[in-house]
Amino acid sequence: MEVIEVSKRNKYIYHISAQHIDFQKNVTLSSLFHLIMKTAGLDADKRGFGVLRLQTEDYTWVLSRFVLDIERFPKEDEQISIETWIEDVQTMFTTRNFRITNGGGKLIGYATSSWAVIDINTRRSVLLDTLPSMQDYILPEPTPIGMPMRIPNVRGEIANDFKVKYSHIDVNGHASSPYYIQWLADCFPLDFYVNHKLKRFEINFLREITFGDKGEVNREMKDENDYYFQISTEDKGVSCRARMQFADIEV
């Protein structure tokens, strides 16, 4: 991985390897999401307010909402660049944006995310003015894809189920967010992905999912190629809602 620093925005360069791809040699949604989250973490570390720094004060970052708009998914052996910057810092949430290009510098996608800081012990939100260094890196430049929307309640069929195990748990003690993406993506069979390409993905994180939790994913088609999801657990209720918009692949 290579890093290119440009004042209030940094660019991180990645090589797509076999571990990132699916059966069609496209990077998976969960792998791309992981690289975007890695970019956010590396950039926060570089600025002095990364998760390990916050944990020394019993604080940590949590992702609240996320939206990705993608023209196409990179292929195996491609090089991609993910550029990131902080658009704003409000009382409870901060917006971090991403611009994704291929190795030739061609734009292939944007992402926007909303983050909060919580107290590790109480699990309650922390006022972001306790992190004054963040104010030095604000670049008030939005992306053209808009902010992540609030996703409504979903009523639909059970399309997947899961149980949270050791390998799902991250440094914050809950299921790592890329696993939510896997549980959602697994709601479709292989032939669906042969005939459709994902264009837009949105997710709202509502409650933590922790070790031993059992849950299910409900899926509802609101319109043609427009699916809404709800992840719920037996004990905690609704933990996450999401939306995936596809386009038909022309043969």
> In this predicted model, what pLDDT tens digit does every residue of 235-248 receive, in sequence order?
889 999 999 999 99
Same domain, 56 and 111: yes
Q: Extract the tokens encoding 7.
A: 């004042």
Instruction: Kindly state the DSSP code that residue 48 receives in the 8-state scheme.
Output: T
Same domain, 136 and 169: no
Say if CB 29 and CB 40 are below 8 A apart.
Answer: no
Residue 132 is predicted with a pLDDT of 63
Same domain, 128 and 154: no
CA distance 174 to 139: 31
Mean pLDDT, the chain, integer:
93
Residue-wise pLDDT tens digits, 208-238: 999 999 999 999 999 999 999 999 998 889 9
Domain hosting residue 249, numbered range = 149-251
The answer, yes or no, to whether residue 178 has pLDDT greater than 70, is yes
CA distance 70 to 112: 12
The residue among 148, 173, 191 that closes a domain is: 148
The answer, yes or no, to whether residue 4 has pLDDT greater than 80, is no
The answer, yes or no, to whether residue 141 has pLDDT greater than 80, is yes
Which candidate, 243, 151, 150, 229, places its Cα nearest to that of 201?
243
Instruction: Give the global pTM.
Output: 0.93
Same domain, 52 and 135: yes
Q: How many structural domains is the chain composed of? A: 2
Say if CB 152 and CB 202 are below 8 A apart.
Answer: no
At residue 17's C-alpha, the angle toward residues 144 and 8, to 5°, is 40
The answer, yes or no, to whether residue 49 has pLDDT greater than 70, is yes
Same domain, 113 and 213: no
Same domain, 127 and 168: no
